[in-house]
Structure 1
Amino acid sequence: MTGDRPRSAPPPHAGEAAQRLLDALSPELVTLLDEGSATMFCAKDVTGRYVLVNRTFVDRANRRSPREVVGRTSHELFAPELAERYEEQDQYVLSEAWPLRNELELIRRHGGTPGWYLTTKLPVQRDGTVVGLVSTSRDLATDDVEDQVMGSLTRVVQLVEERLDRGVRIGDMADAAGCTTGALERRMRRVFGLTPKQFVLRARVDRATALLVQTDLALADVAVRAGFYDQPSFTRTFVRLTGETPSAYRRKGRALAAD
């Protein structure tokens, strides 16, 4: 460890840890982020407790007000598999004093509807010490993707859908769009908010979620039809992106559909 590297804060009392983080944040921050209904925001202290959240986060946590969130941990608000993933991310950011940027995640919105988000977490430092982190998760609004598709990207979307179970190369996507791979990445980031690789991964998981809920296919068959190498790789990727195993997702999805 070099002398210039930020230090993690010692484990203080929960109230003291929260105050350290509050002192390091601008009071206008949450007010500003409350203006964006498509972005979840939270700040966590080094004990893993929420210190600040915006209205969108409150809704995501299925609570009525920020008072029901502040002071709690992920495990007190979310399903165990989700909480475990969130806290693994938090520990990395806090211990390494290093940001986690644009993590693609499938998150259940308020009411149980799944949606794709890009999550970024940044360490917060005060006087060279890490005192907490701030996090945003931006809703990619995939329900409206078709309305956003323009020009050559229509052919890219069709190509991905047609070849999903056989594998899709970035070069083939660029050829379909009639541009270089660099230009394709810029266009897809502008329209979808995703890199080509992230777009393909999202398409695979989207197909898998539909097959899990709408069919009785075995998990191995779902994996193949969604373009994954095998069932273990499918399960690992699915858990990483959704925080749930395919079997758990199938059970919950069918339960919601039956209500």
Structure 2
Amino acid sequence: MPFDIDIPSQELQALYDALPDVVFFIKDAQGRYTHCNLTLMRRLGRKQRADVLGRTTVEVFPQRFGDSYQQQDLRVLRGEIIENQLEVHLFPNRMPGWALTFKRPVLQAGAVVGLIGISRDLGQPDNRHSTFPRLMKVVDHMQEHHGENVRITALADLAGLSVAQLERHFRRVFQLTPQQMLTKLRIETAMRLLQDDASIACIGQACGFADQSAFTRQFKATVGMTPRDYRALGRHPRAVPVASV
């Protein structure tokens, strides 16, 4: 017989304290942290929860990041659910780490009173899976042709799988969909190319985006800042956060 258990938020926080590869947080209706786990504290360089709780992303992240993360929070506070959002989290040494972010509104009496979410570090591929060699052929093809119009049906044919099978096995082996893997490869390439002086429009085109605006939208959604801001960050190094939460 189904039944509900109301788990106290403090218990959730304590549970997520034990997971070093997961960032956990709860925020109120104004986007202020009410709970966070040790992973988030450490990645923000904070020693105590009190350094985070009661503050918004704008207050704990540099402005160019905090504003972007706050916009994501506002979408959730309006009732949107964010699931399986592929994101780059930047470490203080500017090395990127990939994560999947999930955010949901918290409801009381039908009204949104806050949000709860996690960001989970992307793990290593399951190279023991029976389809791993075939899927790596697909990944290699994506890497070589990510600047072109890559069709999922063609990738499925390359792997000798149906589209549904390709999607299912990709999630099992890489924790990503084929489209997310393609986006990951494109953004990684763009991040490298932005270290040089090529125009942003040319970089976007070289990475398979239809135009500069499409490139900018995807880059900002994934990295948390525009390509222009990312390039400026490389020319004027400073500490950057690891978690877009």
Q: Which range, TM-score by smaller chain?
A: 0.7 to 0.9
| Match in the other structure for 2:214 | 233
Gaps of 5+ in 2: 1-5, 239-245
Summarize the alignment of residues 142-161 of structure 1 with structure 2, pairs less than 5 Å apart: 144-145=124-125, 150-161=132-143
Shift in Å at residue 255 of structure 1?
A: 4.5
Asked if 1 retains the 8 angstrom alpha-carbon contact of 2:68 and 2:225, the reply is no
For 1:179-218, what aligned pairs fall within 5 Å after superposition? Answer: 179-213=161-195, 215-218=196-199
| Partner residue, 2:223 | 242
1:133 aligns with 2:115: yes
Structure 1 distance, partners of 2:95, 2:205, is 25
Q: Give me the whole-angstrom Cα distance separating, in 1, the residues matched to 2:30 and 2:59.
A: 13
Structure 2 residue 77 is matched with structure 1 residue 94: yes
Cα deviation for residue 225 of structure 1 reads 1.6
Identify, as 1 or 2, the structure richer in helix. 1
Per the alignment, residue 22 of structure 2 pairs with 39
Aligned residues: 231
Residue 59 of structure 1, CA deviation: 2.1
Q: CA deviation at 1:44?
A: 0.2
Aligned-residue offset at 1:84: 2.2
User: How many Å separate the matches in 1 of 2:147 and 2:43?
Assistant: 33
The 2-side partners of 1:241 and 1:162 are apart by 21
> Would you say the 8 A contact 1:24–1:126 is kept in 2?
no
Of 175-184 and 61-70, the range deviating more from structure 2? 61-70
- Whether contact under 8 Å (2:126, 2:174) holds in the other structure is no
> In the alignment, what sits opposite 1:251?
232
2:104 is paired with a residue of what secondary structure?
strand
For residues 67 and 148 of structure 1, what CA distance do their matches in structure 2 show?
A: 43
Structure-2 change in CA distance of 1:132 and 1:66 (3 Å): same
Letter in 1 for 2:222: L
Residue in structure 2 matched with residue 163 of structure 1 by the alignment: 145
**2:200 maps to amino acid:** L
The 3-state SS of whatever aligns with 2:150 is: coil
- Aligned identity (percent) is 39
TM-score, normalization by structure 1: 0.81
Give 5+ residue unaligned stretches, structure 1.
1-22
Q: Which amino acid aligns with 1:164?
A: H
**Can you list the C-alpha shifts for 1:74-123, whole angstroms capped at 9, x where unaligned?**
11011223222222222222222x42211121121354322221111112
Distance 1:54 1:26 in 2: 11
- CA deviation digits over 1:108-153, x for unaligned, max 9? 1354322221111112223433321111011114xx4596882211
Higher relative contact order by CA 8 Å / sep ≥ 6: 1 or 2?
2
Q: 2:117 and 2:137 mapped to 1: Cα distance?
A: 35
Question: Could you say what secondary structure the match of 1:152 adopts?
Answer: helix
Provide the aligned C-alpha RMSD in A. 2.3
- Amino acid aligned to 1:153: L
Tell me whether 69-78 or 220-229 shows the greater mean CA deviation.
220-229
**Shift of residue 252, structure 1, vs aligned partner:** 1.9
CA gap of 1:24–1:94, structure 2 versus 1, over 3 A, is farther
In structure 1, what is the Cα distance between the partners aligned to 2:43 and 2:135?
Answer: 31
Deviations 1:225-248 (A, max 9, x none): 211112222112111221212122
Q: TM-score, normalised by structure 2?
A: 0.85
Q: Could you tell me which of 71, 92, 97 is aligned with 1:115?
A: 97
Shift of 1:60: 2.4
Distance 1:69 1:112, change over 3 A: farther
